Amino acid sequence: MMEFSTWDILRNLLLAARWTVVLSLVSFLGGGIVGALLLFLRIGGNRVLTAFTRYYVELFQGTPLLMQLFLAFFGLGLFGINVPAWLAAGIALVLWTAAFLAEIWRGCVEAVARGQWEASASLGMGYVQQMRYVILPQALKVAIPPTVGFSVQVVKGTALTSIIGFVELSKAGTVVTNATFQPFTVYGLVALIYFALCWPLSKSSQALERKLNAAHRNH
């Protein structure tokens, strides 16, 4: 049997962690784009689209991410579409992230005082102008800390994709454990790497929030 040094283990885990990072970035950016789209459909005032986005968000928030991954992976398979694990993982995480970001951002838009809508309307601005020049600039500022904070959930969410066979950090942990029989060392390192990824994110989210609250002025 081969001997594995701690460095061998760590190196293998770090190589796999690249995929955790890539998947997180794809999910977060893709989810951000889809989420922004959902947000505009949601607040655009069209009843059908508003209802659609509401159900979308409820569906994705109301079911476990794991089920969504299974459905993307096996569900599409039922229709004879062969979905590789990385694609199923990417799709499910993008859609899941989009649901949460859309909801976070909707809260931020609604947090802008009603008087801002009224003042801009009374000056003759139309809906799009109000959004672009008055509401979104204010909502955006409020949205930054919770958005950065949510990215931590995305990183941790990628761990679930190991179950459908996508080889990222968690899956690599299992594989390496099977080869080394050192579960405590391996998963300890896995946890440390996750922590190294998530901790700066949650710290910066907190810092941003403090800065925003402390900011004497809102610009």
Partner 1 sequence: MPLIEITDVRKRFGENEVLKGIDLDVKPGEVIAIIGKSGSGKSTLLRCINGLETIDGGSISVAGSQLLPDEVHLKALRLKVGMIFQQFNLFPHLTAGGNVILSQTVVKKTPKPEAAAMARKMLERVGLAEKFDAYPDELSGGQQQRVAIARALAMQPIALLCDEVTSALDPELVAEVLAVVRELAAEGMTLLMVTHEMKFARDVCSRVVFMHQGRVHEIGPPEDVFAKPKTPELKQFLGVQ
Residue in 45, 62, 80, 115 binding partner 1, rule: CB under 8 A:
115
Nearer to partner 1, 129 or 153 (CB): 129
Q: Does 120 bind partner 1 (CB under 8 A)?
A: yes
Binding part of the chain for partner 1, among 27-35, 39-47, 111-119, 167-175 by CB under 8 A, reads 111-119
Nearer to partner 1, 129 or 182 (CB): 129
Q: Does 182 bind partner 1 (CB under 8 A)?
A: no
Please return the burial class of 89, using the count of CB atoms within 10 Å of its CB with bins 0-12, 13-18 and 19+: buried
Q: Does 213 bind partner 1 (CB under 8 A)?
A: no
- CA–CA separation, 176 vs 86, rounded Å? 20
How many residues bind partner 1 (CB under 8 A)? The answer is 23
Residues in the chain: 219
Q: Does 47 bind partner 1 (CB under 8 A)?
A: no
On whether the CB atoms of residues 182 and 190 are closer than 8 A, the answer is no
Q: Does 133 bind partner 1 (CB under 8 A)?
A: yes
On whether the CB atoms of residues 134 and 120 are closer than 8 A, the answer is yes
Q: Which residue has the tokens 């990385």?
A: 86
Nearer to partner 1, 25 or 140 (CB): 140
Residue in 3, 124, 184, 213 binding partner 1, rule: CB under 8 A:
124
Of the candidates 178, 194, 203, 199, the residue with the CA atom closest to the CA atom of residue 20:
194
| Distance in Å, CB of 43 to partner 1, minimum | 17
SS3 call for 100: helix
